[in-house]
Structure 1
Amino acid sequence: MTRTTPPRPVDVEQLFPELAPLRREAIRLHPRAGSPSPAQSSVGGPLLWPADEPWPLCPSTSHPAGWDRPETEGPVPMVSVVQIHRRDVPQLDFPAGTDLLQVLWCPFIVGLCPEPTPRVLWRSSDSVGPVLVTAPSTVSTAPEDSIPAPCVLHPEPVVDYPSWDMPEELGEELRFRMEELKARTGLWYSYHLAEAPGIKLGGYPSWTQEPCWPDCPACGQAMDHLLTVSSWEYDGLSYRTWLPLEDRDSETGEERRDTTGGRGAHSPAQVMFGDAGGVYIFECRSCPDRPVDHHWDCS
């Protein structure tokens, strides 16, 4: 089943033409619980990983104790976060000769890993050969909140406009018009009209706090946003414009519940970064080896 974000209830660029030059294309991945195979795009699913290639381990062999877990010693296998086949997201800027994106990270990524950089791999699926059947399991003390549950994807292109990333002077210029819109329609620009929430590729990061764009350590330029992994696909305010049509109750407009009362669209990957925050992965597309960095935040 496809997932369709409703059209924004107002024309953003007609109301705020100053935002037109700042629009960015994003891909909402719309993960939903499932059993993806290595041949499929997924969040938290098995990767199309060469059987003869060592599985990546976190460079750190010691992870400090958290409030609910002891210190962890020894190598920790990284965990699958996202796999994207080019056929499913042709809009993504794949490097020449590749058609597969794989992202892994240390399960201690949020606050407990002294080696913070995730692994981002671009591959040619034709060159993989025999596929690894079972990835190494993480240690029992790893925080489950940073290990995405297996999900199939329903990619959808959308348009992002900046909220936290809006230039300060432009924000001041538009503030009165945005407050007038909120008073008239109940639409909050930052929640309902700006950047898409949830797990997505490209566009603007769905920051929970102020932006923190890393600079490339090689060339010094600001890095490009590759991936946002948020705790929720939408929240109590943003569902009005960002909950897909296919997941809505026709009477209330809120998410349709399953037979157990669950909401399969709200947090399908079952991750939670601090207090409903996100992890943001960046790459430098100006450098041939595409260096990677990341940032995480929460409420």
Structure 2
Amino acid sequence: MTRRTPPRPVDVEDLFPEVAPLRRETVRLHPRVGAPTFRESSVGGPLLWPADEDWPVCSEHDGEPMVPVVQLYRDGVPDVVPFPDGCDLLQVLWCPRKHGGSRWALPEVRWRRAGEVRAVRETPPAPAEPWANYVPRPCVVHPERVTEYPYWDLDDELWDELEFRFLDLDQETGWDYQSHLSTAPGTKWGGYPGWCQEPAWPDCVGCGGRMEHLLTVASTEADALSRRAWTPVEDRSASPEGPGLVLGDLGGVYVFECRTCPGRPFAHRHDCP
């Protein structure tokens, strides 16, 4: 089923032309519980993993296998993020345990050419006692391209210029810039990270440049405040089942990459409300 985000309730760029140059395109994945195969894009579904390639394991937890988190085929998602030359498949896994004294998953990113995979490795079972709700339920995805604008990523000068106009709009119409008009919530591909707190963009250890946002994996499709504006039209009369993640205190994991250095090195951040 197609998922369609309602149009923004007001014209953001008309009201706040200062944010127009900062618009970005993101793809809301809208994961819903289902039975995806390794030939499909998915959240928490089986991966097209070569039988002759070792499955990623966690070095901190006795080599336990990582679990599938996101798989995206290039022909199945809008092209808001460029795939590396010759690749048409993104796979993200993580170890669903706490690491380094924190309670956060540790991601792994792989790009590959789907056509080169002949025999497929069966997905290993998840660890017997993962951190609560860090193993996503298998979900099909319903990619939808939407436009978004920064909130947490507004610089201080622009924030000072716009803050009271944001407040005026909220008081006059009930529409809040942060929750209803700016950055799309939920699990998404490209665009702005779905920060719950102050941004923490990583720099590439190779070239020193700021990395690009690749993927947000969120606990929920939308929180109580943003749900009013961002719930897809098709879900207004129901409560769809998603991957069932609870990351921290309903936060998110953000995956970044350097598109300049060879191999597209990646990093991740996390936060929660």
TM-score normalised over the length of structure 1: 0.87
1:71 is aligned to none
2:163 is aligned to 175
Shift of the 88–143 alpha-carbon distance from structure 1 to 2, 3 Å rule, reads: same
Contact 1:118 1:292 in 2 (8 A): no
2:246 is aligned to 272
1:107 is aligned to 96
Shift of the 232–117 alpha-carbon distance from structure 1 to 2, 3 Å rule, reads: closer
Contact 2:78 2:145 in 1 (8 A): no
Q: Deviations over 1:2-25 (max 9, x none)?
A: 000000010000000000111011
Report the 3-state secondary structure (helix = DSSP H, G, I; strand = E; otherwise coil) of the residue aligned with 1:195: coil
Shift of 1:145: 1.4
Q: Within 2, Cα distance between the matches of 1:172 and 1:187? A: 19
Matches within 5 A, 1:48-67: 48-61=48-61
Q: Which moved more, 1:224-233 or 1:136-145?
A: 136-145
Shift of the 280–122 alpha-carbon distance from structure 1 to 2, 3 Å rule, reads: same
2:220 is aligned to 232
Q: Deviations over 1:176-223 (max 9, x none)?
A: 111110001101100000000000011111111111101001000010
Q: Within 2, Cα distance between the matches of 1:276 and 1:110? A: 18
Q: Within 2, Cα distance between the matches of 1:59 and 1:217? A: 21
2:14 is aligned to 14
1:34 is aligned to 34
Shift of 1:58: 1.1
Query: Could you tell me which amino acid in structure 1 is paired with residue 198 of structure 2?
Result: E
Shift of 1:102: 0.5
Alignment RMSD: 1.6
Query: Could you tell me which amino acid in structure 2 is paired with residue 272 of structure 1?
Result: V
2:211 is the alignment partner of 1:211: no
Contact 1:106 1:113 in 2 (8 A): no
TM-score normalised over the length of structure 2: 0.96
Count, aligned residues: 272
The correspondence for 2:147, drawn from 148, 153, 159, is 159
Contact 1:117 1:293 in 2 (8 A): no
2:75 is aligned to 87
Q: Within 2, Cα distance between the matches of 1:113 and 1:45? A: 26
Report the 3-state secondary structure (helix = DSSP H, G, I; strand = E; otherwise coil) of the residue aligned with 1:118: strand
Contact 2:43 2:141 in 1 (8 A): yes
Q: Within 2, Cα distance between the matches of 1:195 and 1:81? A: 22
Shift of 1:151: 0.2
Q: Within 1, Cα distance between the matches of 2:91 and 2:258? A: 16
Query: Could you tell me which amino acid in structure 2 is paired with residue 290 of structure 1?
Result: R
2:134 is aligned to 146
2:174 is the alignment partner of 1:186: yes
Query: Could you tell me which amino acid in structure 2 is paired with residue 153 of structure 1?
Result: V
Contact 1:228 1:281 in 2 (8 A): yes
Shift of 1:109: 5.0
Q: Within 1, Cα distance between the matches of 2:224 and 2:272? A: 16
Report the 3-state secondary structure (helix = DSSP H, G, I; strand = E; otherwise coil) of the residue aligned with 1:182: helix
Shift of the 108–187 alpha-carbon distance from structure 1 to 2, 3 Å rule, reads: same
Shift of 1:117: 5.1
Q: Deviations over 1:50-82 (max 9, x none)?
A: 111111101224xxxxxxxxxxxx211111010
Shift of 1:291: 0.7
Q: Within 2, Cα distance between the matches of 1:106 and 1:44? A: 13
Unmatched 5+ stretches in structure 2 = none
Report the 3-state secondary structure (helix = DSSP H, G, I; strand = E; otherwise coil) of the residue aligned with 1:145: coil
The correspondence for 2:187, drawn from 196, 199, 210, is 199
Q: Deviations over 1:67-111 (max 9, x none)?
A: xxxxxxx21111101000111114131111111110111111566
1:222 is aligned to 210
2:108 is aligned to 119
Q: Deviations over 1:117-149 (max 9, x none)?
A: 5211111110011111x2222321221411111
Q: Within 2, Cα distance between the matches of 1:77 and 1:14? A: 50
Matches within 5 A, 1:237-256: 237-249=225-237, 256=238
Contact 2:6 2:230 in 1 (8 A): yes
1:289 is aligned to 263
